[in-house]
Chain A
Amino acid sequence: MKTYHIVKCGLILIFILILSTGTASAFNIYDEEIYKGDGYQINNYFIEVFNIISHEDSRLLTINMYQLKSDGTYEELDVKRETNVNNKLTKHKYQSDIVEIIVMEKNCTSTYATVDITTSGIKVVYNQPVKGGLSSAKFIGEPSLLLTKEVDKTNVEIGDTIRVTIKAKNVGSGPAKGITIDHGITPGFTFKSAIYTTYPEELAAGNPDYTQMYIYEMEAAQSGTVTLTPAIATYYCSTYDSEYSSNSNSPVVTVAQEAVETSVLELTVTPHKTELQRGNKVTFTVSLRNIKDIPATTVRLDMIYPYNLTYESGCEDIKIIDNKPVIQKSIYEARYEDEYDYTFLANEVGIYNITAKVSYNDGANNIINETTSDMIYVTEGKYDFLKEYPLYVYIIPIIIIAAIAGWIFWRRNQFKM
């Protein structure tokens, strides 16, 4: 029975201690020197040494107390004054239902007073001597955190990692204390790791910059367009003995289905020479490379070339279909690469290029890929000047020469024995 009472008393004591730390408790300031006209601010209570009246050897200290308002006004509190007849020291006391402030004069000169200040019923979050009296006092208000949530990318595929950064800024008028961050994990994402967690427990008001609070990484596990769950910051302000919370914004992230691995055929076309004369031949080498681990199927390689170039010859794989050189392969193995030569005859003077066009099935879709060669410059051939004249210019002399040759041959035979 005795043990029961000891435990019971202990629990009561612990409860009282918790209560005294978690709520308002006594606050004492001793031997504070406050000059005439100056004051001391405890939370939004302002204690002002209003006047010191000297009379012979005695001094009469007058202290006023004020309640500061958020709108910049104040309310003068009702202060009771008691002067000890023995030592002539004055006690100033403000008493409300729960708050009690006592300013006890300990010494007083004509310019300043030394006082002890005791409070109860106040959770002191701000106490500071204030030069200049009431006009210099500053209202201590409520905190308000502005929270942001940022992602490093908004379009990802399943399995990709997103880095999320949470920042905060106190845009209120009072300090935010005991800050805790709930980063707000979003369904469809898996938390991977926290990168930065050492955020401050308190943020003072008035700082225009954001403070980095929390960084973590998560992995996209489900496709779709997802609005991330906002982060939540909770904090309190002892001035008002209240708890607050702020939500961040909610970024939108689009998560695509995980890509199906397909084949990709890369194509290049290289002319062996870029300058040639009309009537000469030029060879183009087409390099076709499957850069993926998946084979391509139903591959067809066509050459698109101007009518001024005539296909002449090429490698064994080339077949002529509809008078055009075509390479067809039912399968083009993964990581396979080959080169194909096409030789063309340049019929006309000009600047030309050719285009290689490959069509194939990459395992999921039918793909068409094209690439164009460098320009080739076809200049006039050695005997092109002959083309400037009509055919009869050549035919007639040839006929004449042939007739003369025939005549000479016939005549020579007449005289040959």
Chain B
Amino acid sequence: MLNILIIGAGQCGNRILDSINNKAFGGGRFSKYYSKQKFPSRVETIAVNTAINDLKEMQYTKAKDRLHIPHLHGVGANRIIGKQCFIDNKDLIMRTIKERGDFDVAFVITSSSGGTGSSFSPPLIEELKNTYDFPVYGVVILPFREEGTIYLQNTAFCLKEMHNSGVDGIILGDNQFLKYAGTDIQSAYDGINSMVAERILFLLEALDSEMMMVTDLGDFKTVMSGGAGIATIGFAKGDGTNSIKSIIQQSLSPNGLLFSSNIYEEGSRAMIILRGDRKYLNIDDISSQIDKLSSHIGHVFKGVIIRNGEIPKILSVVTLETTVELDNLYTLAVEAIQMEKEKHDRMALEKETGAAFSKIDGLEPQY
């Protein structure tokens, strides 16, 4: 049995973590009262946040698993403040992690654009890598592009810092790409959180299950070490009528991925996990699709989990060599940084000339 640590940092990380815990209970609103979490491994979850209200909103994560870093009510999307706050509270965070025991792998879930999550995650991963020898993976959610310049520049720096932190891989999810998940902003966020949580749980199960065809943590590490260290996850499930072939194709299509990518062009390594009743899992169809993918990207690990009576579900983890979407994002981020810099310079100039206030210099009020 694997020992897995999942850390949700910042509001986004907290909510995805809470969704993971909810689904581990079974998914119902009141499941925490009557059900037990069904993790296949020993899973420890820790939510970290400087905003206590975000922690209080969590419903399925135990209070003892919520770590509040006292700093007003958040860091206001300012990564400089956030990083300093992490440095100030690093010992508390690491002590909390240490108290949970030894782990075989860790996942740090965060948004790249916010304050606490984007600023805490890179140094936290670096500290974990410096302290422990288990692999640490970042699960990073990219922002809506229209959310503003600060979020874009935060994303750019967060991803860079995380990449340089020694992380063993970054799994990307993209709000911009996944926003079809809901009809309004709230349901979209909830849908994205649920989607990400469902895929992570599937991944955890795949890493620690007795499978007909085995994939394990070692395979996952090999997959994640490929390419540029950037990966995404695809997912699809059948309805009992469609073939396993089409379901695999769907999981690898842009609609099935968390991050927009052309797998066959940009992929480096992949791992495909199939789960469902034996009658749906046609080995010829599966082999043909695996062969097709491996012929494009190289090596593909595959695992099969037999579940009697269950309709087939597919999880695919694909590392990317290059990603056009990420390049586009960084182009936007550079523009955003420059726009913020120009704004800064302009305001600094206005301050120097005194602006409107200087007009009354030397005058006294008359009564």
Query: Chain A interface (Cβ within 8 Å of chain B)?
Result: 407-408, 411-417
Asked if residues A417 and B55 are in contact (CB atoms below 8 Å), the reply is: yes
Task: Name which of A408, A414, A415 has the most chain B CB atoms within 10 A of its CB.
Answer: A415
Asked if residues B33 and A416 are in contact (CB atoms below 8 Å), the reply is: no
Asked if residues B56 and A415 are in contact (CB atoms below 8 Å), the reply is: no
Asked if residues A411 and B32 are in contact (CB atoms below 8 Å), the reply is: yes
Q: For A411, what are the chain B residues with a Cβ–Cβ distance below 8 Å?
A: 32-33
Bound-state Cα–Cα, A415 to B59, Å: 6
Bound-state Cα–Cα, A408 to B32, Å: 9
Asked if residues B55 and A415 are in contact (CB atoms below 8 Å), the reply is: no
Closest residue on chain B to residue A404 by CB atoms: B33
Bound-state Cα–Cα, A412 to B59, Å: 9
Task: Name which of A407, A408, A417 has the most chain B CB atoms within 10 A of its CB.
Answer: A417
What's the A-B contact tally at a CB cutoff of 8 Å?
Answer: 24
Asked if residues B33 and A417 are in contact (CB atoms below 8 Å), the reply is: no
Closest residue on chain B to residue A417 by CB atoms: B63
CB of B61 closer than 8 Å to a CB of A: yes
Asked if residues B32 and A417 are in contact (CB atoms below 8 Å), the reply is: no
Q: For A407, what are the chain B residues with a Cβ–Cβ distance below 8 Å?
A: 33
Asked if residues B59 and A417 are in contact (CB atoms below 8 Å), the reply is: no
- Main secondary structure, interface of A, reads helix
Asked if residues B63 and A414 are in contact (CB atoms below 8 Å), the reply is: yes
In the complex, the 5 A-B pairs of residues with the closest C-beta atoms, listed nearest first:
A417-B63, A414-B62, A417-B56, A411-B33, A408-B33
| Nearest CB of chain A from residue B24's CB, rounded to whole Å | 13
Bound-state Cα–Cα, A416 to B55, Å: 10
Q: For A408, what are the chain B residues with a Cβ–Cβ distance below 8 Å?
A: 33
Closest residue on chain A to residue B68 by CB atoms: A417
Bound-state Cα–Cα, A414 to B56, Å: 12
CB of B120 closer than 8 Å to a CB of A: no
| Nearest CB of chain A from residue B74's CB, rounded to whole Å | 16
Bound-state Cα–Cα, A417 to B59, Å: 10
CB of B235 closer than 8 Å to a CB of A: no
13 inter-chain pairs at a CB distance below 8 angstroms, sorted by A residue, are: A407-B33, A411-B32, A411-B33, A412-B33, A413-B63, A414-B63, A415-B61, A415-B62, A415-B63, A416-B63, A417-B56, A417-B63, A417-B68
Bound-state Cα–Cα, A414 to B68, Å: 16
Bound-state Cα–Cα, A68 to B62, Å: 149
CB of B79 closer than 8 Å to a CB of A: no
CB of B86 closer than 8 Å to a CB of A: no
| Nearest CB of chain B from residue A412's CB, rounded to whole Å | 8
Bound-state Cα–Cα, A233 to B291, Å: 161
In B214-248, the 8 Å CB interface with A consists of none
CB of B313 closer than 8 Å to a CB of A: no
Closest residue on chain A to residue B47 by CB atoms: A417
Q: For A417, what are the chain B residues with a Cβ–Cβ distance below 8 Å?
A: 52, 55-56, 58, 63, 66, 68
Q: For B66, what are the chain A residues with a Cβ–Cβ distance below 8 Å?
A: 417
Contact with A along B31-63 (1 / 0, CB 8 A): 011000000000000000000100110111111
